C-alpha cells in the first residue's frame, strides 16, 4: 500500500503529504536541482512556472544502461537519475542523492518517461522513497509501469493543494482510470491486484460495448478477450483481459522477470504456455568491448547467467548466442519467425511495436507486467485510442521510411497527437513501401510516445511472410489480415501525408523530435557513421547502404578519411541475405567495419559508440538521447543519409550519381 494513502475516521481514503518529507522539482535550471538535493532549497508548486520544468525526461536519463545492469530495484535506486548531466558532462544526481534526500514527491514537465520501456526508471524512484509522481503528461509505457508498481500520479493543481496542507481524496488521483486500474493502483500494484483476482475478490467482466466500426487495434484486441462467448466489440477506454499470442524478453530484462516471479510465486513457479514466449541474447553481446562498460563485466555476465537460469526453469524458447554470435535483435527475429498478422504480442522492450509492420498489435511492457502476463497467459488491457496516417504519393529516391517518421515526430509527436495512441498506417503510399520499410514506421512509434504502430496488410506483406512461414501459402496468410472497418473512429484524427513532398531529414542531438531538413542543417562534419539496430538492420536497409557505397566505389570514392563507418546486421537471416547479394564485398572495398547481429551502439554497448564529447555521429538508430550511444553528439538519419555522409565526411542527403559531381549539396 502506498504510504501517502490514509483512511479518515469516516472511511474515506485520502492522500496527504508526510510531515518532514520533501518535494523535488526537476527544473531546466540544473543548479536548482542540486540545491534541492543538498537540502539548501525547498520549492512550492505555486511558485514554480511549469514551463521551467524539464520536459521529455527519458528513461535513459533516469536509469542509464549501466544502472540497468543491476536487476534488484533496491540496487538500481542507488544511482537514480544518473543520466541527468550538466553541460560539462557531470552528473546532477550523485550516488544515493535521491535515496537519501527525504523526498516523497517528484515533479517534472511534459511527456515524463519517454524512450525505452525499462521499468527500472520508475523503480529508481519508488525504491528511493518517491510515492507521488507529478507531471504534465506521461509516456504510455512509463505511465503503465508506474501503475503496475502502485505509484500515484497527478497534475500540478493536486500538488499545490497538498503543499497547502490539504488532504486530497484518493479518488481524485484515480478517477481518470477505469475501475480495474483504480483497484490495482489502490491495492499497491499489479501483483497485489493479481492476488485479489486469483482469490476472486475482484473480477474483470467482458465489455458490453454495442456493435460499432472498429480500428485495426480494436479488432485485434476484441478477437482475444478472455471469457467472451460471442463476438465482442471494443471502444477506447474499455477494460478487459486479453489472451497474449506470444512475447519475449532479453538479457537486459529477463533477470528482473525471473526475480519478480520467484518473489511472488516461489522458486518452483511454472508458466502455463512457455512455448509462446522466448528469451533473446542481443543487447549486451558487445558491451564489454566498450571501454566505459568494462567495469560492469561481472554484472553483465550475471544478467546472462540469470537469463539462462530462467530459460531452463521456465522452458521458454531460447535465442541465446552461440559462440558469442546472436541469432539477431529480438524485434527483427520475431517478425521474421513468429509475429503473424492479427497477433497480440507483448515484450519487455519499447521497440516491440516494430512487429506492427506485419499487421499485428505489438508493444512493450515493463518487467512486472511481463512477469504477470507470462504467468497467467493473458494480460489486462485498457483499449487505447487510435490515430490514422493515410500515406499517399511515393518517396523521393533520397528518402526512406525513417524520413517519414522524423517528419511525424517533428510535426505530430511534438504536439502530442500521437501520445498513448495506436498509430495506424494505411493508404496507397503505404503500398509503395516494402514490409521492411513498414517495420521502420512501426518501430519508431514508441519515439512518438505512441502506444504502438500497425500497418495494413497486402499482397506484398503476404509474399514477404510466405517463405518465412513453412507450410503456409500467401493466400492463407492474407486471410488473417486485419483492416479497419469503414467508419471507425480515430480520436487522434486522420492525417494525410504526401510522401512525395517529404525531404531527407535528421534529428539533431538530444531527442528524436528535434527534426530538421538536411538542406537547412548547415555543414556538420562527422567522425562516426553507424548503420544498424532494429530500426535499420533489415534486408532493405542493407540494400540502401550497399546502393550508396556502390555508387561511391564506382566513382572512385570510399568512406572518407577520418570517418569510421560500422554496419551491423539485424539478424543472421539479414547477414545471409547480404552475403548472397554481395554486399559484404562492397562494404569491405568501401572501408566499412561489418559486425555480427546485435543491438550494439544503439544502446552504447558496441562498436560505433563515440568515445569523447566532441565526436559527431550520424546514425540510423531510433533515438539520440544524450549519452545513449556514447558522450558525443548524435544525429539520427535514414540509411541512405548515413551511408552518403560516411563517404562525404559530413551530413548530406543521398542523390543517385552524387559522387561523380565536383561538389555535393546537402
Q: DSSP assignment of 427-496, as one string?
A: STTGGGS-HHHHHHHHHTTGGGT-SEEEE---HHHHHHHGGGSTT--HHHHHTT---PPTT---TT-EEE
**Tell me, what's the pLDDT at 665?**
43
Topology alike, domains 5-187 and 505-660: no
Q: Mapping DSSP to helix (H, G, I), strand (E, B) and coil, where does residue 60 land?
A: helix
CA-nearest of 503, 510, 505 to 623 is 510
Q: What is the mean pLDDT of each run of 10 residues along the chain (666 residues)?
A: 89 95 98 98 97 95 93 96 95 98 97 89 97 95 93 97 96 90 89 90 93 98 94 96 96 95 93 94 86 88 95 96 92 97 97 98 95 93 97 97 98 94 98 98 96 98 97 97 98 98 97 96 97 96 98 97 97 97 98 93 88 96 91 97 98 94 51
When the candidates are 2.60.120.560, 2.60.40.420, 3.60.15.10, 3.30.499.10, the CATH number that belongs to 505-660 is: 3.30.499.10
CA-nearest of 291, 315, 287 to 301 is 287
**Tell me, what's the pLDDT at 661?**
65
Q: Are strands 452-455 and 421-426 parallel, antiparallel or unpaired?
A: parallel
Q: Are strands 168-169 and 13-15 parallel, antiparallel or unpaired?
A: antiparallel
In this structure, what are the phi and psi dihedrals at residue 627, rounded to the nearest 5 degrees?
Answer: 85, -5
When the candidates are 3.30.70, 3.20.19, 3.40.1000, 2.40.230, the CATH number that belongs to 5-187 is: 3.20.19
**Tell me, what's the pLDDT at 525?**
98
385-501 CATH: 3.40.1060.10
Measure the CA–CA gap between 203 and 279, rounded to whole angstroms.
Answer: 31
Contact 275, 396 (CB under 8 A): no
**Tell me, what's the pLDDT at 662?**
57
Contact 269, 375 (CB under 8 A): yes
Q: Where do the structural domains in the chain lie, given as residue ranges?
A: 5-187, 216-381, 385-501, 505-660
CA-nearest of 214, 246, 541, 235 to 374 is 246
* Per-residue pLDDT reduced to its tens digit, 315-325: 999 999 998 88
Q: What is the largest CA-CA distance in the chain?
A: 84
CA-nearest of 636, 461, 653, 631 to 535 is 636
**Tell me, what's the pLDDT at 538?**
98
For domain 216-381, say whether CATH 3.30.499.10 is its number: yes
**Tell me, what's the pLDDT at 186?**
86
Give the number of C-alpha atoms closer than 13 A to the C-alpha of residue 276, restricted to the C-beta side.
21
**Tell me, what's the pLDDT at 664?**
46
Indicate the length of the chain as a whole number.
666
Radius of gyration of the chain (CA): 24
Beta strand extents in 508-585 (DSSP E only):
515-517, 528-531, 564-568
Amino acid at each position: 500500500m502506498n504510504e501517502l494513502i490514509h483512511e479518515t475516521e469516516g472511511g474515506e481514503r485520502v492522500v496527504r503529504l508526510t510531515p518532514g518529507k520533501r518535494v523535488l522539482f526537476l527544473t531546466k535550471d540544473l543548479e536548482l536541482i542540486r540545491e534541492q538535493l543538498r537540502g539548501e532549497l525547498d520549492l512550492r508548486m505555486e511558485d514554480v512556472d511549469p514551463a521551467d520544468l524539464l520536459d521529455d525526461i527519458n528513461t535513459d536519463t533516469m536509469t542509464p544502461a549501466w544502472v540497468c545492469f543491476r536487476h534488484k530495484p533496491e540496487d538500481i535506486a542507488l544511482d537514480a537519475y544518473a543520466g541527468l548531466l550538466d553541460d560539462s558532462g557531470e552528473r546532477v544526481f550523485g550516488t544515493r542523492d535521491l535515496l537519501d534526500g527525504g523526498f516523497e514527491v517528484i515533479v517534472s514537465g511534459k511527456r515524463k518517461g519517454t524512450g525505452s520501456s525499462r521499468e527500472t526508471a520508475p523503480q529508481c524512484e519508488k525504491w528511493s522513497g518517491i510515492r507521488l509522481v507529478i507531471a504534465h503528461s506521461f509516456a504510455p509505457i512509463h505511465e503503465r509501469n508506474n501503475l503496475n508498481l502502485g505509484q500515484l500520479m497527478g497534475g500540478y493543481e493536486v500538488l499545490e493543494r497538498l503543499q497547502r496542507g490539504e488532504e486530497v481524496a484518493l479518488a481524485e488521483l484515480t478517477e481518470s482510470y477505469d475501475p480495474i486500474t483504480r483497484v490495482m493502483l489502490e491495492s499497491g500494484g499489479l501483483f497485489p491486484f493479481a492476488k485479489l483476482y486469483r482469490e476472486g475478490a475482484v473480477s474483470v467482466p467482458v465489455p458490453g460495448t454495442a456493435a460499432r466500426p472498429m480500428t485495426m487495434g480494436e479488432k485485434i484486441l476484441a478477437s482475444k478477450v478472455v471469457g467472451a462467448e460471442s463476438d465482442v466489440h471494443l471502444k477506447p477506454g474499455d477494460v478487459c483481459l486479453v489472451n497474449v499470442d506470444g512475447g519475449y524478453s532479453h538479457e537486459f530484462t529477463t533477470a528482473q522477470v525471473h526475480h519478480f516471479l520467484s518473489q511472488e510465486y516461489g522458486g518452483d513457479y511454472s508458466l502455463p504456455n512457455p512455448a509462446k514466449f522466448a528469451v533473446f541474447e542481443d543487447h549486451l553481446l558487445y558491451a564489454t568491448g566498450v571501454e566505459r562498460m568494462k567495469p560492469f563485466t561481472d554484472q553483465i555476465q550475471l544478467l546472462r547467467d540469470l537469463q539462462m537460469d530462467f530459460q531452463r526453469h521456465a522452458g521458454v524458447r531460447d535465442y541465446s548466442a552461440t559462440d558469442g554470435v546472436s541469432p539477431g535483435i529480438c524485434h527483427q527475429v520475431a517478425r521474421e519467425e513468429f509475429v503473424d498478422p492479427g497477433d497480440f504480442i507483448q515484450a519487455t522492450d519499447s521497440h516491440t511495436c516494430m512487429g506492427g509492420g506485419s499487421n499485428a498489435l505489438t508493444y512493450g511492457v515493463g518487467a512486472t507486467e511481463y512477469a504477470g502476463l507470462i504467468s497467467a497467459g493473458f494480460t489486462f488491457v485498457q483499449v487505447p485510442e487510435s490515430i490514422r496516417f493515410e500515406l499517399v504519393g511515393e518517396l523521393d529516391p533520397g528518402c526512406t521510411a525513417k524520413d517519414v517518421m522524423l517528419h511525424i515526430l517533428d510535426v505530430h509527436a511534438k504536439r502530442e497527437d500521437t501520445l498513448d495512441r495506436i498509430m495506424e498506417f494505411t493508404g496507397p503510399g503505404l503500398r509503395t513501401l516494402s514490409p521492411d520499410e513498414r517495420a521502420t514506421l512501426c518501430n519508431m512509434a514508441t519515439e512518438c510516445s505512441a502506444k504502438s504502430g500497425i500497418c495494413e496488410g497486402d499482397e506484398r506483406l503476404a509474399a514477404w511472410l510466405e517463405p518465412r512461414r513453412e507450410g503456409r501459402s500467401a493466400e492463407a496468410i492474407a486471410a488473417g489480415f486485419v483492416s479497419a472497418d469503414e467508419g471507425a473512429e480515430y480520436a487522434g484524427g486522420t492525417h494525410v501525408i504526401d510522401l512525395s513532398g517529404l525531404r531527407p531529414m535528421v534529428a539533431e542531438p538530444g531527442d528524436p523530435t528535434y527534426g530538421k531538413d538536411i538542406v537547412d542543417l548547415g555543414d556538420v562534419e562527422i567522425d562516426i557513421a553507424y548503420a544498424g539496430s532494429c530500426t535499420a538492420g533489415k534486408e532493405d536497409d542493407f540494400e540502401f547502404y550497399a546502393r550508396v557505397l556502390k555508387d561511391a566505389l564506382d566513382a572512385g570514392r570510399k568512406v572518407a578519411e577520418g570517418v569510421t563507418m560500422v554496419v551491423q546486421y539485424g539478424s543472421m537471416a539479414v547477414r545471409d541475405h547480404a552475403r548472397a547479394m554481395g554486399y559484404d564485398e562492397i562494404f569491405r572495398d568501401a572501408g566499412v567495419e561489418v559486425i555480427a547481429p546485435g543491438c550494439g551502439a544503439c544502446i552504447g554497448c558496441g562498436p560505433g559508440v563515440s568515445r569523447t564529447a566532441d565526436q559527431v555521429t550520424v546514425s540510423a538508430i531510433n533515438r539520440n538521447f544524450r549519452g545513449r550511444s556514447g558522450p558525443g553528439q548524435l544525429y539520427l538519419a535514414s540509411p541512405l543519409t548515413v551511408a552518403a555522409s560516411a563517404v562525404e565526411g559530413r551530413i548530406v542527403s543521398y542523390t543517385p550519381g552524387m559522387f561523380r559531381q565536383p561538389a555535393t549539396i546537402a
